[in-house]
């Protein structure tokens, strides 16, 4: 009626089997095992009850059909890699044929598949595919034909893998032809001599492939890549050499390689009640635009999330365009410890505080070796919240927040198409989100809060639900509902936020000094109405006073100082911000203030350099004038001494000098004012012009003493 290996055509589906099938096994108790032949890839056998199969054959629903694989034999020529691969396939199939029940129960062969995968140095799925392909083809010969019918490279034995864009640069050396040389050189040069890959590759080409050293490029890595040299000196590529090294390390793993850690459970398994939080930051793969013009990109945002381990609820967040820092982490902590009503009001959301009832201090906080162990965050551990620092490069130690990051990034991607979104690990020609970016930072924050609220409304997995929750409200099975339930039914692991907690432990502390205008800190002056009291003025008059201040690194427009056991606000006072409130709302950071001071100093220094450059020739001219003046004075004194001339009194000489100076000033004023008016007014006659010219040529009367024999300094006044 039927035989093992016979092919039938099923006209009616039976146990998901239809079309051409091959009978690979039959047992009255276990049934008949069938393999589908119409599928593109071979799959596990399908079992049909023995009686059911007999009925199908008798009624004609399963009719005999020709075997599509009959007559296939091994190809006459196979490349060495294909021969080696087929040897592994035949040995694995031969061992699998000894396990008869594997045909009826494929899942029982997992251990054997694993054992053969290690022996053949392939994956377990590959061994399973070999077995299923053998059952479908019927013989290893037919399987070999199907394995190689689409592999022209293997048949020809040519080079496989990546090739250059220009065929002229392809050396054509197949790896399987030089595999032994590559492996021996890798062991000798890299493993033994500890050379770098490129150094070992260059030395191998010189010693094993007889390539002269002078044709190597010193600027690049490897040969001068020209088609002429490649055709003259055929050689393997660097990628082939690197692959040989990877094959070597796969066969000979380092002895100091740590063993696999295996499954360790989840972090949330140790959480009994709300109060153990995790914090971590991530970059959201979305391009944002400026709030002033949407044509201007501003980059990707940085988001911090704080998660409760017990309920896996999101307790706080912070979003910023700055890099990961304590300033951004402090914003997330402040958001976590504060009432959320202010956020809903600012963003225009229709939620209330009870929808996100998280405003408590945790029992502990888990973080990585980053912001919370930096100098900026050293005051936070003394707040009474222990900080558990995870080992470096170990994200599974805080897997709750790491998993929540993934949930936020991939939130309902099929339903929500956010503009500017892109994948984290982009492939060639994949979009980077810059072309279709359209969301501003505020709009993205609105979407982020909606995503957080939606995730908080998602149910907790059944293994994390206490039995008492079933008697509570149905909202208690959600993340935020379980958090609220834990606060009432398992208290003692959280505490209320004390006054001034943010000023004492979240803001950065510093020391300023008193100034007559306010407080001097970090090169800037900060003013406050509290500092204008008479007591402050009296204290400043006695000398400099040190003042403890706190501030946020991203807001250099305001600092806080303690006065009468309360934190008071002092605003930046400068020529750019005469009103302190403007500086606080401007959002200028301390690093930007430092850059502004640096820019001003550089401008001043440049002005001084320009002044020195310009003044240098002028100073030489002044020195020349003073030198000539001294020489003239010495000559005048010598003449007066020889002529026995007595100088006039200083008052008389000053009067004469003032008269001459006023005449010069009047002439300069006339030339600058009266002359232009004359040009604009009526024209003068030729006679008037000549009389005017004659008047200008008239020489001033000489001033002579009454006694002609008495020659004084005035006689020299009109001398030229």
Domain of residue 216, residue span: 158-251
* Range from 146-160, 206-220, 247-261, 429-443 carrying the lowest mean pLDDT: 146-160
Tell me what the mean pLDDT of segment 213-223 comes to: 53
Residue 424: the pLDDT is 87
Mean pLDDT calculated for residue range 38-54: 83
pLDDT of 701: 42
**Is the model more confident about 268 or about 113?**
113
Looking at the DSSP bridge assignments, the partners of residue 508 are 551
Residue 259 lies in a domain: no
Q: Averaged over 219-236, what is the pLDDT?
A: 66
Question: Do residues 236 and 320 share a domain?
Answer: no
Q: What is the pLDDT of residue 298?
A: 94
In a domain, 2, yes or no: no
Is 626 within a domain? no
411 and 338 in a common domain: yes
Confirm if 377 and 420 have CB atoms less than 8 A apart: no
Domain boundary among 107, 134, 155: 155
Beta bridge partners, 32, equal: 26, 48
> What average pLDDT does the segment 623-645 reach?
91
How confident is the model over 511-548, as pLDDT tens digits? 998 887 888 898 888 888 887 775 666 777 777 788 88
Q: How high is the mean pLDDT of the chain?
A: 80
Domain boundary, last residue among 122, 155, 188: 155
Burial classification of residue 231, based on how many CB atoms lie within 10 Å of its CB (0-12 exposed, 13-18 middle, 19 or more buried) = exposed
Token duo for residue 691: 């009389």
Tell me the DSSP string of 464-532: G--GGGGGS-GGGGBHHHHHHHHHHHS-SS-BPPPTTHIIIIISEEEEEEEETTEEEETTEEEE-GGGG
Q: What is the pLDDT of residue 709?
A: 46
Of 638 and 716, the structure prediction assigns the larger pLDDT to 638
Categorize the per-residue pLDDT at 90 as very low, low, confident or very high, splitting at 50, 70 and 90. confident
Q: State how many domains the chain has.
A: 5
Determine the Cα–Cα distance for residues 256 and 243; give it in Å rounded to an integer: 22
pLDDT class for 348, splitting at 50, 70, 90? very high
Per residue in 647-700, pLDDT (tens digit) is 889 999 999 999 989 888 888 877 777 655 554 444 444 444 444 444 444 444
- pLDDT band at residue 707 using 50, 70 and 90 as cut-offs: very low
Per residue in 12-24, pLDDT tens? 777 777 788 888 8
Provide the pLDDT for residue 584: 59
Tokens, residue 315: 């307790």
H/E stretch holding 304 reads strand 302-308
Identify whether residues 114 and 217 lie together within a single domain: no
Same domain for 85 and 162 = no
Residue 490: count other Cβ atoms within 10 Å of its Cβ.
16
Clarify whether residues 165 and 150 are in a common domain. Answer: no
Given a cut of 80, whether residue 717 has pLDDT beyond it is: no
How far apart CA 397 and CA 402 sit, in angstroms, is: 9
Inside any domain, residue 149: yes
Same domain (yes/no): 150, 163 = no
Q: Do 289 and 236 belong to one domain? A: no
Is residue 583 very low, low, confident or very high in pLDDT (cuts 50, 70, 90)? Answer: low
**CATH, residue 427:** 3.30.420.10
**Domain boundary, last residue among 221, 251, 281:** 251
pLDDT of residue 218: 42
| Cα–Cα distance for residue pair 22/70, rounded to 1 Å | 12
214 vs 183 pLDDT, higher one? 183
DSSP per-residue string spanning 648-677: PPHHHHHHHHHHHHHHHHHHHHIIIIIHHH
Same domain, 26 and 93: yes
d(CA 271, CA 277): 10
Contact 580, 573 (CB under 8 A): yes
Domain match, 36 and 72 both: yes
Q: Lowest-pLDDT range, 3-7, 224-228, 302-306, 586-590?
A: 224-228
Q: What is the DSSP letter of 172?
A: -
pLDDT on residue 223 = 54
Of the candidate ranges 92-106, 452-466, 554-568, the one whose mean pLDDT is the lowest: 92-106
Q: How many CB atoms lie within 10 A of CB 376?
A: 18
Residues 80 and 199 in one domain: no
Residue 341 confidence (pLDDT) above 50: yes
């Amino acid at each position: 009626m039927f035989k093992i290996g016979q092919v039938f055509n099923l006209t009616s589906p039976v146990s998901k089997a239809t079309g051409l099938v091959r009978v690979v096994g039959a047992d009255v108790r276990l049934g008949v095992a069938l393999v589908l032949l119409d599928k593109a890839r071979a799959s596990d056998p399908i079992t049909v009850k023995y009686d059911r199969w007999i009925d199908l054959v008798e009624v004609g629903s399963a009719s005999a059909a020709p075997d599509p694989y009959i007559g296939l034999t091994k190809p006459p020529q196979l490349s060495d890699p294909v021969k080696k691969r087929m040897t592994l396939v035949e040995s694995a199939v031969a061992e699998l044929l000894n396990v008869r029940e594997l045909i009826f129960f494929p899942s029982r062969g997992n251990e054997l598949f694993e054992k053969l995968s290690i022996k053949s140095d392939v994956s377990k799925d590959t061994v399973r595919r070999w077995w299923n392909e053998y059952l479908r083809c019927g013989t290893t010969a037919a399987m070999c034909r199907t394995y190689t019918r689409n592999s022209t490279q293997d048949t020809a034995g040519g080079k496989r893998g990546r090739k250059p864009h220009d065929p002229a640069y392809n050396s054509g050396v197949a790896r399987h032809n030089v595999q032994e040389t590559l492996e021996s050189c890798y062991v000798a040069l890299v493993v033994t001599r500890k050379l770098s890959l490129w150094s070992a590759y260059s030395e191998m080409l010189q010693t094993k492939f007889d390539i002269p050293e002078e044709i190597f490029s010193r600027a690049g890595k490897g040969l001068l890549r020209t088609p002429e040299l490649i055709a003259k000196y055929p050689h393997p590529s660097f990628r082939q050499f690197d692959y040989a090294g990877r094959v070597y390390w796969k066969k000979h793993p380092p002895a100091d390689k740590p063993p696999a850690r295996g499954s360790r459970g989840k972090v949330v398994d140790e959480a009994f009640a709300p109060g153990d939080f995790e914090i971590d930051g991530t970059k959201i793969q979305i391009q944002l635009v400026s709030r002033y013009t949407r044509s201007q990109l501003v980059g990707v945002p940085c988001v911090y999330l704080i998660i409760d381990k017990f309920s896996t609820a999101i307790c706080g967040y912070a979003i910023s365009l700055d890099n990961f820092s304590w300033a951004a982490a402090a914003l997330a902590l402040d958001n976590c410890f504060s009432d959320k009503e202010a956020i809903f009001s600012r963003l225009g959301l229709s939620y209330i505080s009870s929808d996100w009832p998280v405003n408590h201090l945790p029992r502990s906080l888990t973080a990585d070796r980053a912001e919370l162990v930096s100098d900026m965050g050293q005051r936070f551990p003394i707040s009474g919240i222990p900080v558990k620092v995870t080992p470096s490069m170990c994200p599974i130690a805080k897997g709750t927040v790491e998993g929540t990051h993934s949930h936020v990034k991939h939130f309902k991607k099929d339903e929500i198409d956010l503009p500017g979104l892109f994948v984290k690990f982009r492939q060639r020609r994949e979009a980077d989100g810059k072309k279709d970016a359209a969301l501003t930072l505020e709009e993205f924050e609105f979407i982020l809060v909606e995503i957080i609220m939606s995730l908080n409304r998602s149910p907790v997995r059944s293994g994390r639900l206490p039995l008492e929750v079933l008697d509570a409200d149905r909202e208690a099975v959600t993340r935020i509902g379980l958090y609220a339930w834990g606060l009432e039914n398992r208290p003692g692991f959280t505490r209320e936020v004390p006054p001034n907690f943010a000023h004492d432990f979240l803001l950065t502390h510093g020391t300023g000094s008193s100034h007559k205008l306010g407080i001097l800190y970090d090169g800037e002056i900060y003013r406050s109405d509290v500092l204008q009291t008479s007591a402050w003025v009296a204290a400043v008059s006695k000398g400099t006073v040190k003042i403890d201040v706190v501030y946020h690194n991203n807001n250099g427009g305001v600092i806080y100082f303690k006065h009468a056991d309360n934190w008071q606000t002092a605003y930046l006072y400068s020529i750019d911000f005469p009103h302190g409130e403007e500086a606080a709302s401007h959002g200028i950071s301390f690093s930007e203030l430092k850059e502004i001071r640096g820019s001003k100093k550089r401008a001043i220094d440049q002005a001084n350099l320009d002044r020195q450059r310009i003044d240098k020739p002028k100073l030489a001219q002044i020195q020349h004038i003073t030198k000539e003046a001294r020489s003239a004075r010495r000559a005048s004194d010598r003449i007066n001494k020889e002529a026995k001339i007595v100088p006039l009194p200083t008052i008389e000489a000053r009067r004469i000098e003032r008269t001459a100076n006023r005449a010069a000033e009047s002439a300069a004023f006339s030339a600058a004012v009266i002359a232009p008016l004359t040009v604009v007014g009526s024209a003068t006659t030729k006679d008037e012009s000549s009389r005017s010219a004659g008047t200008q040529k008239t020489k001033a009367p000489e001033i002579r003493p009454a006694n002609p024999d008495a020659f004084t300094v005035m006689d020299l006044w009109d001398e030229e």
